[in-house]
């Protein structure tokens, strides 16, 4: 009886794990959307954890133009004037640091999980 | 060159402090302050155009283009606000002093070439933004009466402080 219970418990655990795993897999395949505000010469937040396929939108809330540009040059929002925004879908190459080409002390980081 | 630029910057600040005895910048009204800011923006735009014409250093070019872009944007906002308030900026002693000082500097910079120009331009930009930021932060903003004008100057100060930081980086690159 105890053996059966243990087996049932094991089966239940595996089933639960599988369901949870499926949910997690499903969650990862459902792209998320993130917003990074550019305000007072800062990227807010300046660090973001994302998955491939998610979308990041940079919104410039400053009076002057900015960019979000990969340090290695792989991707770029190009110039964002006041109140303009640009969305980019996260790809494998987007992990790492980025900055504003016009104001190089402005820095942000993307971490792909 | 460093000493020379420092002296020029000091002269710029001293001229404002000296004038404070006869013409106090703290006594300027909002429209006079707006005029000073407009002139100060345009002076830096002129310096930047000079840098683009003379320098071949990519760091100098990047900085100069940013100065033109940012100061033009600030001036557009200022003019839009003045239009909304149905007001005109008013010329005053400080605007004239800034202009005279700028003419001398432009004449001096125009005679320089190569690394000598880059160093002068970078150090002057740092000194200029430090002086203007001090004036805006400690004299203008506390004395501006109109809330919208004050808000624009506060936003402007953040921009010019970022320029000051950028100029520090540029000075490090050309030295």
Complex-level ipTM = 0.80
From the list B70, B155, B166, which residue is nearest A104 (CB)? B166
Which CATH number belongs to the domain containing residue A71 in this structure? 2.60.40.420
Can you tell me the distance from the alpha carbon of B43 to that of B131, in angstroms, rounded to the nearest whole number? 13
Indicate whether A39 and A24 sit together in one domain.
no
Q: Which of residues 65-94 of A touch B (CB under 8 A)?
A: 65, 82
Count structural domains, chain B. Answer: 1
Indicate whether A54 and A80 sit together in one domain.
yes
- Tens of pLDDT along B73-128? 999 999 999 999 999 999 999 999 999 999 999 999 999 999 999 999 999 999 99
Mutant choice from B157, B158, B160 vs A, greatest count of A C-beta within 10 A = B158
Among A75, A73, A111, A72, residue whose Cα is nearest residue A95: A111
From the list B65, B73, B169, which residue is nearest A64 (CB)? B73
Indicate whether A67 and A19 sit together in one domain.
no
A3–B contact, CB cutoff 8 A: no
- Show the domain range for A1: 1-30
pLDDT of residue B8: 53
Indicate whether A54 and A99 sit together in one domain.
yes
Indicate whether A22 and A41 sit together in one domain.
no
- Tens of pLDDT along B52-73? 999 999 999 999 999 999 999 9
pLDDT of residue B23: 82
- How buried is residue A2: exposed, middle or buried, by Cβ count under 10 Å (0-12/13-18/19+)? exposed
Mutant choice from A63, A83, A101, A105 vs B, greatest count of B C-beta within 10 A = A63
A62–B contact, CB cutoff 8 A: yes
Indicate whether A37 and A20 sit together in one domain.
no
Indicate whether A62 and A89 sit together in one domain.
yes
Tokens 């909304």 belong to: B84
- Tens of pLDDT along B129-143? 999 999 999 999 999
- Show the domain range for B21: 2-174
| A45: preceding bond cis by omega (within 30 degrees) | yes
Indicate whether A75 and A55 sit together in one domain.
yes
Indicate whether A4 and A25 sit together in one domain.
yes
Q: pTM higher than 0.90 for the full model? A: no
Check pLDDT > 70 for residue A2. no
Coil, strand or helix at A66: strand
- Tens of pLDDT along B29-51? 999 999 999 999 999 999 999 99
Count structural domains, chain A. Answer: 2
pLDDT of residue B17: 47
Q: Are B164 and B129 in contact (CB under 8 A)?
A: yes
- Average pLDDT, whole number, for chain B? 90
């Amino acid at each position: 009886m105890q053996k059966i219970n243990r087996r049932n418990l094991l089966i239940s655990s595996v089933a639960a794990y599988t369901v949870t795993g499926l949910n997690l897999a499903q969650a990862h395949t459902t792209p998320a959307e993130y917003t990074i505000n550019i305000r007072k010469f800062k990227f807010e937040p300046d660090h973001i954890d994302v998955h491939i396929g998610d979308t990041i939108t940079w919104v410039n809330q400053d009076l002057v133009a900015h960019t979000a540009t990969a340090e290695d040059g792989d991707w770029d929002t190009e110039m964002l004037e006041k109140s303009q925004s640009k969305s980019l879908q996260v790809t494998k190459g987007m992990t790492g640091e980025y900055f504003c080409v016009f104001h190089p002390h402005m820095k942000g980081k993307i971490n792909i999980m | 060159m460093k000493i020379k630029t420092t002296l020029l910057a000091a002269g710029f600040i001293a001229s404002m402090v000296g004038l404070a005895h006869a013409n106090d910048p703290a006594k300027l009204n909002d429209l006079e302050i707006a005029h000073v800011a407009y002139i100060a923006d345009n002076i830096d735009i002129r310096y930047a155009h000079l840098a683009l014409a003379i320098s071949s250093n990519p760091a100098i070019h990047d900085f100069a283009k940013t100065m033109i872009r940012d100061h033009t944007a600030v001036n557009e906002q200022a003019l839009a606000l003045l239009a909304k308030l149905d007001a005109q900026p008013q010329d005053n002693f400080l605007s004239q002093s800034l202009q005279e000082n700028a003419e001398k500097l432009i004449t001096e910079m125009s005679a320089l070439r190569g690394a000598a120009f880059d160093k002068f331009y970078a150090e002057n930009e740092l000194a200029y933004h430090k002086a203007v930021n001090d004036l805006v932060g400690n004299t203008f903003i506390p004395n501006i009466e109109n809330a919208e004008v004050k808000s624009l100057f506060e936003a402007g100060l953040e921009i010019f402080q970022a320029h000051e930081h950028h100029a520090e980086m540029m000075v490090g690159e050309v030295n």
